[in-house]
């Protein structure tokens, strides 16, 4: 595997190259770059790295510029940004470019190692997703045109990690889902998980889960389920909390909503 370091500070690059056992992590090629131009040239000549560790701020072109160029090329490179300052503007731009790691330069080396390991696992996950999508697309094309076969086809874009997280929640919202479980499943930190979800969907993960659960409860109540049954099927294990949240969200208690649903179904029933 290949890893590229970009930082205009040679000391930082030297530190990264010599304080971590990259061979032990599976890397057999290490590329230093002190300008974005050097990094682009190395990538054009030798192909994209599996991982990039970039300084987010730099004179002239920045790490953001480099990562944007990499994404425009369609490379699946995982990126880790290093910075001296915490900045929401930088973090927000990084998320748009599918960068899941954002670490302060003063962080312990162990945090960089952990970020690299998470990045490698994410890359493996994404490659598996790509293969599944490719197989599904091939099957669709064969069904649409049996004579075409699966020999030549265009590979579509990689799904957003945030969309994958949302899709997982959509499939499992009636179960117990914790930030810790989600962060572990998608190989990102809990805080970063919360940040990217809120930034992309305009609500926290618990808010989104509760929204799905209340909608599910409404369906169950309208279908004739009791309040307790609706709460259980929607994933609530506390009836009092369910009733409070339902009233706050819908504007009616579960019982009143159930009664109103029955009247809509049978307008002559009193």
pLDDT at 195: 80
pLDDT at 251: 93
| Alpha-carbon separation of residue 47 from 43, 117, 126, 154 (angstroms) | 5, 21, 19, 20
Higher pLDDT, 101 or 158: 101
Name the CATH superfamily for 160-270: Homeodomain-like (1.10.10.60)
Contact 172, 209 (CB under 8 A): no
pLDDT at 109: 87
pLDDT at 185: 80
Write down the mean pLDDT value for the chain: 83
Listed in order, the ranges of the chain carrying CATH 3.40.50.2300 are: 2-122
pLDDT at 160: 67
Higher pLDDT, 265 or 155: 265
- Distance between CA 29 and CA 184 in Å, rounded? 28
The mean pLDDT value for 203-231 works out to 93
pLDDT at 174: 93
Task: Return the CATH fold of 2-122.
Answer: Rossmann fold (3.40.50)
Question: Taking 90 as the threshold, does the pLDDT of residue 172 lie above it?
Answer: yes
In tens, the pLDDT along 16-27 reads 898 899 999 999
Helices 36-46 & 63-72 angle (0-180, nearest 10) = 30
pLDDT at 22: 93
pLDDT at 158: 39
pLDDT at 227: 93
pLDDT at 170: 94
The mean pLDDT value for 48-73 works out to 90
Confidence of residue 86 (pLDDT cuts 50, 70, 90): low
Helix (H, G, I), strand (E, B) or coil at 95: helix
Listed in order, the ranges of the chain carrying CATH 1.10.10.60 are: 160-270
Helices 227-234 & 239-250 angle (0-180, nearest 10) = 90
Question: Long-range contacts for 212-215 (Cβ within 8 Å, ≥24 apart)?
Answer: 212/169, 212/170, 212/173, 213/173, 213/174, 214/245, 214/246, 214/249, 214/250
Higher pLDDT, 180 or 206: 206
Confidence of residue 149 (pLDDT cuts 50, 70, 90): very low
pLDDT at 76: 83
Residue bearing tokens 């509760």: 210
In this prediction the pTM is 0.57
């Amino acid at each position: 595997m290949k890893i590229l370091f970009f930082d205009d500070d040679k000391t930082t690059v030297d530190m990264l190259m010599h304080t971590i056992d990259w061979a032990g992590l599976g890397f057999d090629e290490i590329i230093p770059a002190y300008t974005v131009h050097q990094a682009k040239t190395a990538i054009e000549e030798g192909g994209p790295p599996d991982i990039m560790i970039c300084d987010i701020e730099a004179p002239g072109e920045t790490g953001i510029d480099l990562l944007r160029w990499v994404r425009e090329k369609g490379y699946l490179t995982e990126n880790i940004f290093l910075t001296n300052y915490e900045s929401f503007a930088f973090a927000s731009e990084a998320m748009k470019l599918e960068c899941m790691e954002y670490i302060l330069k003063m962080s312990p080396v162990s945090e960089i190692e952990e970020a690299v390991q998470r990045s490698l696992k994410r890359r493996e996950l994404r490659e598996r997703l790509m293969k599944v999508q490719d197989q599904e697309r091939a099957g669709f094309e064969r069904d649409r045109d049996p004579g075409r076969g699966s020999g030549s086809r265009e590979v579509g874009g990689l799904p957003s990690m945030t969309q994958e997280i949302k899709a997982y929640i959509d499939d499992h919202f009636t179960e117990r889902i914790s930030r810790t479980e989600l962060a572990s499943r998608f190989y990102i930190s809990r805080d970063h998980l919360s940040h990217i979800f809120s930034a992309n969907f305009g609500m926290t993960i618990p808010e989104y889960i509760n929204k799905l659960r209340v909608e599910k409860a409404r369906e169950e109540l309208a279908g004739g389920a009791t309040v307790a049954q609706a709460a259980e099927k929607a994933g609530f294990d506390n009836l009092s909390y369910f009733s409070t949240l339902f009233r706050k969200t819908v504007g009616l208690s579960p019982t009143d909503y159930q009664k109103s649903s029955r009247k809509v179904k049978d307008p002559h029933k009193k």
